[in-house]
Amino acid sequence: MRIVRNFHEMPPQLQGGVIALGNFDGLHRGHQAVIGATVDAARAAGVAAGVMTFEPHPRQVFRPDDPPFRLSPFRIKARLIEAMGVDYLYTQSFDRDFSQRSAENFITEILLGGLKVSRVVVGADYVFGHQRKGNLALLQSLAAAHGVAVTALSEQRDGAGPRYSSSNIRTALVEGRPHDAARLLGRFWELEGRVEQGDQRGRTIGFPTANLPHRDYLHPAKGVYAVRAGIDRGAKTVWHDGVANFGNRPTFDKTDLLLEVHLFDFNDDLYSRHLRVALIDHLRPEMKFSGLDALKAQITKDSVTARERLAAHRFSPAPAPFVTVG
């Protein structure tokens, strides 16, 4: 998949394609339906399939003091989109100047003039342009005047349950319901980062941990989780069972947020390695203990519970790009 960052520099071989529009934070099943329809239409027409998104997320520009909220920072978003068979990802830089661009200008200059698309695919509630004045009717009207088709998908839902939406997924994660979030995502939600050296207390009690700082993501419920940790081995990701604590480590009077991951039956060095961690089940809230002995006893119990929960899911031991929902 090719990443394009300037609509003035769109490669000729990618012009005339079908493009999906949206923020696509989380790449949930509703987003997947939009992108899937885009890829299908492009393959049928023999043209490139593209996705357009914005970086940073517009909410970060207009509400910079909000707590972290993103489900999928750019690295994860790009990986997910590529896995869906997309040929190019057009990443539009978003700032306050760009936010002043009218909906009409967005269509005529970027979509038609720069990317030269032949079809646009959106969700039915897609809005765009200055003050979000652009809607589906305007998009269809202007696109049709230039011979460009517009496909709008109806709202996607989890059967009779909640609709697929990033806000519903955030709520599930903040409330400690990672499996509910996974049903909407179609896979278990991941955090990722480079393993940093910590205080190494875990080694002294028989539970060494890989420490991942938490900066750019939504904050899920604090506490202990059963997890699957992915280590990239060439082009494949090999997943390992484990238990993790997300929080401030009150036993040691810490205040920074950290994800500490203990992998079961694993002895390799992970320092400076890139690690992906999928949250499977929330086992309990974060607690403060009287000392290392009490902490060790609780981690021992948590590890037993985590192994049981993970075994019940019957995850495949084979390398896979994501931890999917059974």
Residue with more model confidence, 321 or 158: 321
Please tell me the predicted confidence (pLDDT) of residue 93.
94
pLDDT band at 316 (very low <50, low <70, confident <90, very high): confident
Mean pLDDT of 183-204: 81
pLDDT at residue 171, as a whole number? 97
Domains annotated for the chain, with CATH where assigned, are 2-153 (3.40.50.620), 175-313 (2.40.30.30)
User: Would strands 274-284 and 190-194 be described as parallel, antiparallel, or unpaired?
Assistant: antiparallel
Percent of the chain with pLDDT over 70: 95
Tell whether the model's pLDDT for residue 312 goes beyond 70.
yes
Q: Is residue 256 scored above 80 in pLDDT?
A: no
Within 10 angstroms of residue 295's Cβ, the number of other Cβ atoms is 20
Tell me which residue of 169, 166, 199, 196 sits closest to 183, measured CA to CA: 169
pLDDT grade, residue 250 (50/70/90)?
A: low
Report which of 51, 54, 47, 14 is spatially closest to residue 35, judged by C-alpha positions: 51
Q: How confident is the model at residue 204 (pLDDT cuts 50, 70, 90)?
A: low
pLDDT, mean of residues 150-168: 88
Q: What is the pLDDT of residues 274-285, one digit of tens each?
A: 899 999 999 999
Calculate the average pLDDT of the chain. Answer: 91
Mean pLDDT computed over 134-156: 92
**What's the pLDDT band for 235 if we cut at 50, 70, 90?**
confident
Percentage of the residues of the chain whose pLDDT score is greater than 90: 69
210-213 sheet: strands from edge to edge: 190-194, 274-284, 223-233, 236-247, 258-263, 210-213
Q: Is the pLDDT of residue 206 over 80?
A: no
Task: Reply yes or no: is the peptide bond before residue 68 cis, omega within 30 of 0.
Answer: no
DSSP string, 148-205: -EEEEEPPPBSTTS-B--HHHHHHHHHTT-HHHHHHHHTB--EEEEE-B----HHHHT
| The pLDDT of residue 199 | 61
Higher pLDDT, residue 197 or 55: 55
Question: Residues 38-51: pLDDT tens digits?
Answer: 999 999 999 999 99
Q: How many CB atoms lie within 10 A of CB 56?
A: 15
Span 155-181, average pLDDT: 91
Q: What is the pLDDT of residue 290?
A: 72
Mean pLDDT across 243-269: 84
Torsion of CA 207, 208, 213, 214, to 10 degrees: -30
